[in-house]
Structure 1
Amino acid sequence: MLRLAIQKSGRLSEDSLKLIRECGISFITSSLKLKTESTNFPLEILYLRDDDIPGYVADGVADIGIVGENVLVEEGKQALTVEKLGFSKCRLSLAVPKSDNYKSIHDLNGKNIATSYPNLLQAYLHEQGVQAHIHTISGSVEIAPSIGLAEAICDIVSSGSTLISNGLKEVERVFKSEAVLIANDSLDEEKRRVLDKLLFRIHAVQRAQKAKYIVLNAPHESLQEIKDLLPGIKSPTILPLAEEGWSSLHSVVNEDDFWEIIEKIKDAGAQGILVIPIEKMIV
């Protein structure tokens, strides 16, 4: 049985549970339970404070965990990282009151900065050659300037709406973060096998999220040109249509290139283009 630690509540928790379900792993959740066991996979889920997850995994209380990269680096546990997961993306940023005439990071020399991430902030300030007074607080960082505790804050930002509602503006990006899968470096052989199976499923889900399955009709005189634009996993699948002189092409397109490729194949003569989401993709 592999023990997975995830954040007990919040966006990261929701995204983590969504990924596990997309991997075909079933479990029952309850706000009253601090752990649950899968009914169809050798996995037990522990619901913990995100700040505690790196330490629990390092100490072997949990075998693996999903945590924000910012928390992992702040706790000095980067060596535990197994995989970047691509969701719950955010940034650690410096912010000051909107009314401040902020020009550069050096405006913060000698100032007070409130944060829940003193290590990441100190490393950034040192890199920038800035000396400031760091006040470590555990929550409600955005209120610090309005109550006179600090002239600036350093906190996690997603959309920026929380900063705006507290009369602040983002001025520097300190660290980019996303969810990462971490693991204890002393897993036994059996737990390593289960982790490999879980990673296999995660990779299949990740590939599917980055790709689109497309089906189109094309005249034979345009087949080669369109085929060259649609590499697919190996090459496009081509099937003859009932109407003579036409074929159907099936392919997989990377989402980043999707619209550019669609425009090109349409210009080349493709018709009836269907775009279908992919649930899993195994290569």
Structure 2
Amino acid sequence: MIPSLRTVRQQHRAVNAPIADLLTYRALPTDSVDYVDPFLFLNHHGPQVYRPHNQGLPFGPHPHRGFETVTFILNGDILHKDSSGHESVIAAGGIQWMTAGAGLIHAEVSSDEFKATGGPLEILQLWVNLPAAHKMTEPRYTGLQASDIPLVAAADGVVIHAVSGEWAGTTGPIASLADVQLAWLELAAGARVALPIAAARTIFFYTVAGQLRANGTDTQERQLVEFNHDGDKLTVEALTDSVLLLGHALPLKEPKIAYGPFVMNTEAEIQEAYQDYQLGKFGTWNG
């Protein structure tokens, strides 16, 4: 069969949602889109430049249960620490993949070096839902520096940073629990790439910077493109130098109850998450 192009269902503009002095655009959820199953949430922090002797990122210790966070550090750095004993500083070009699972407490702050010297910062944080069968899995964390992530020359002027799943014949280093394939792409103006993505899978397509044409539809920075499930081919053309966050996964098609830092399948499970957190079942925080 000849591959057919997916059609665009709708485009959604990220909304300005600053957090303290951190410039933030929330691409998901917004008034126009709740979530694109199984992708729950995306905050785009920056780009901005921090002065020397700054306070850094404001994300002190907080709990999570029932989903995964994937953090792309395009500029700056993040010091991750959690109640399961993981700690690392990931610099520009790296990623952090945390499976909250049954529950943990974590903090995402800037390193002492970044707070002292300042500099450019741009970070994307994506939340991905876990299927009911994995919501209470043991928490885990992987931090990868830029050098740990394979670069794939998918076409002239197109570089794919392959994080999870297979991209143009190269497999990313993260083995996702639910076959979530994620990457970010750098595209030079005029570059074009075609990627096969099965029609059953949900595409996550967020233009970080620049202007792109996706299956014939023009889009621009800080816009989320939502696709129908009516084709198995994605073509991307860069109208300017661009950066794209791209992923795909099978939709879970399960009930979703999201309340603050917890995402479960029922209200009772949300109440249980709060009770477990208050009872100290998310581990001990040693700040």
Taking structure 2 as the reference length, the TM-score comes to: 0.24
> Whose helix proportion is higher, 1 or 2?
1
**Higher RCO, Cα 8 Å, sep 6+:** 2
Tell which structure's C-alpha radius of gyration is larger: 1
> Whose strand proportion is higher, 1 or 2?
2
